[in-house]
Amino acid sequence: MLMTRDLTGILVDIMSEKSATAAAGEKIGFEEAFMLHHRVVFRAARSVVRDNAAAEDIVQETFIRLHRNPDVIQNEEMLRPWLIRVAINLAKNAVRGQIRANTRDENYVKLTGDPMGVGSVEADFEEKAGVDEIYKALDMVREPLRSCVILKQQGLSYREIAASLDISEASVGTYVARGRAEFARVYGISR
């Protein structure tokens, strides 16, 4: 003979099993899908395009497609693979588009014989080499002088620099001057 407490326990078990089954069959909301899968979709896109900004654009387009077609996913288990597949396909398309654009540019230079196009490639290379020299020289400036120079160059005030680096505001001006002098000395030697 079953007691009321035992019957209640059995009913609770049956009800919780049914509610778990029903919850598994429910569709996941768009916001929840975005929160759960944004990072993995971003990493998948970035692995193909190798550019954070382009990967963010691809993530946005992926979730727009999910939002426009909410019935495309029948259950939650298929959502993540679908999002990754869409993101990778969009990323591959973006890479193909970039390759085509580069090819068109190269063909234009070949057809027109535009010396400015070739000259600009050489100028870009020389500019990049110059920038690399600047970074090498800047790396040789000791801390906190280097950080003070970089932050001042970015337009921060002495107060902001002091707060960022946890140094006294009175010493920031001295550090900036010394850092600039050290950079000029090192950069002059490396050139």
Look at residue 69 and tell me if it is in a domain: yes
- pLDDT for 62 equals 95
Examine the domain organization and report whether 19 and 78 are in the same domain.
yes
Examine the domain organization and report whether 41 and 70 are in the same domain.
yes
Q: In three state form, how does the secondary structure of 7-51 look?
A: HHHHHHHHHHHHHHHHHHHCCCCHHHHHHHHHHHHHHHHHHHHCC
pTM score, whole prediction: 0.45
Q: Give the residue from 73, 104, 135 where a domain finishes.
A: 104
How many whole angstroms separate alpha carbon 12 and alpha carbon 60? 43
Examine the domain organization and report whether 154 and 131 are in the same domain.
yes
Parent domain of 99? 4-104
Q: pLDDT tens digits for the chain (191 residues)?
A: 445 555 454 444 444 444 444 444 456 788 888 999 999 999 989 988 889 999 999 999 999 999 998 887 777 778 888 898 899 899 989 988 888 887 877 777 777 765 454 556 666 666 777 777 888 888 888 888 888 888 888 777 888 888 878 889 899 999 999 999 998 888 887 55
What are 69-117's pLDDT values in tens digits?
A: 888 777 777 888 889 889 989 998 998 888 888 787 777 777 776 545 4
* C-beta separation of 84 from 40 below 8 A: yes
How many whole angstroms separate alpha carbon 158 and alpha carbon 148? 9
Examine the domain organization and report whether 64 and 122 are in the same domain.
no
Examine the domain organization and report whether 94 and 130 are in the same domain.
no
- pLDDT for 96 equals 87
Examine the domain organization and report whether 143 and 180 are in the same domain.
yes
Examine the domain organization and report whether 12 and 100 are in the same domain.
yes
Examine the domain organization and report whether 94 and 8 are in the same domain.
yes
Q: Tell me the H-state helices in the chain.
A: 4-25, 30-49, 52-68, 79-112, 115-140, 145-153, 158-165, 169-190
CA-wise closest residue to 134 among 175, 191, 66:
191
Q: Give the residue from 79, 104, 129 where a domain finishes.
A: 104
Examine the domain organization and report whether 97 and 35 are in the same domain.
yes
